[in-house]
Amino acid sequence: MPSRSAESLEPSVSPLDAPPRETVAAWSSIDGLVHAFFGRNGGQSGEPWDSLNLSESVGDSPAAVGRNWTRVARSIGTLEVARMTQVHGNQVAEVAKHRLYPGECDGLMTRETGIALSVMTADCVPILMVAPAHRAVMALHAGWRGTVAGIAASGLQSARSSFGIDAAEWQVALGPSIGGCCYEVSSEIADDLQQRWGTMPEAWQPSGRRGQLDLRRANEQILIRSGVPHEAVSFIGPCTACAHRQYFSHRQSGGVTGRQASLIGFRR
């Protein structure tokens, strides 16, 4: 059975000039939930970070990045944004009102309301998760290193041990990220992936010593094999390299570009 891959909405622009974003249609019925996958448009940065760059560490003007964050923060309401320093690992940290920045990790989780967890990407997979019965949320960063290291399974395990939430209780959205169409990698990466998580014909199309890797399909398989129901996983938005006018793409840009943010949290 294929994933629900056609749920993305048209980018919406509010009268307050909020930046375009994608959302999960099925999540609009979850009371108090706020979430968004932002793209590259709707900000104030100049080339090559045009225009909604939200990273301070890619060479962009700090003033422009600050103005972009103000736009994003305004568009998600009163939630306070929690951020992390992403390092392509598999550590997930719990954040709280008094601890919005846990340092180096690749996943954030919380059961507190009033906090928006954020993840920054430009080809890597932004994974947003919600367990409605627990009013818990999680945001994960999954590039190829984090995918092989099992950031998705690690997030589920962290939430089980810290919050007592079972994998079957999560709903998961895999946001705009590079597709197999545009992501050729060494077969050693796929060998590592499949040695650890099992064979993945859905995610890997080999061609000699290289092949096409689909990071979203790989993370979907890891989530399902870790206990998330197949129907609870959604794909939101296009391939970032194909849609590089709407999304920052590290690979398509040659490495000099901005970072887009994805956020999730519950209103207080």
User: Footprint of Zn ion on this chain (CB under 5 A)?
Assistant: 179, 181-182, 239, 241-242
189 contacts 144 by C-beta, under 8 angstroms: yes
Q: Is 177 helix (H, G, I), strand (E, B) or coil?
A: strand
Q: Which is nearer to Zn ion, 93 or 239 (CB)?
A: 239
CB of 239 to Zn ion, least distance (A): 3
Of 150 and 180, CB closest to Zn ion: 180
**Cβ-count burial of 231 within 10 angstroms (0-12 exposed, 13-18 middle, 19+ buried)?**
exposed
Residue 26 or 181: the one with the smaller Cβ distance to Zn ion is 181
Three-class DSSP category at 64: helix
Is residue 146 exposed (0-12), middle (13-18) or buried (19+ Cβ within 10 Å)? Answer: buried
**Smallest distance from the beta carbon of 85 to Zn ion, in angstroms?**
28
We find the least distance from the C-beta atom of residue 106 to Zn ion, in angstroms, to be 23
State in angstroms the smallest separation of the CB of 261 from Zn ion: 21
CA dihedral 193, 195, 200, 203 (to 10 degrees): 20
**Token duo for residue 74:** 């305004």
- For the chain, give the number of residues: 268
Looking at beta carbons only, is 27 or 183 nearer to Zn ion?
183
Q: Between 19 and 237, name the residue whose CB sits nearer to Zn ion.
A: 237
Residue written as tokens 């954020």?
A: 118
Give CA angle at 120 (263, 18), nearest 5°: 50
Give the nearest distance from C-beta 192 to Zn ion in angstroms: 23
Where would I find the H helices in 76-180? Answer: 144-149, 151-163
Q: At its nearest, how many Å lie between Zn ion and the CB of residue 61?
A: 30
Contact at 8 Å (CB) between 154 and 197? no
Please identify, using beta-carbon distances, which residue of 22 and 94 lies nearer to Zn ion.
22
CB of 242 to Zn ion, least distance (A): 3
Q: How far apart are CA 167 and CA 87, in angstroms?
A: 24
For Zn ion, the closer CB: 142 or 167: 142
The answer to whether 100 and 83 are in contact (CB under 8 A) is: yes
Please give the Cα distance from 201 to 264 (Å, whole number): 31
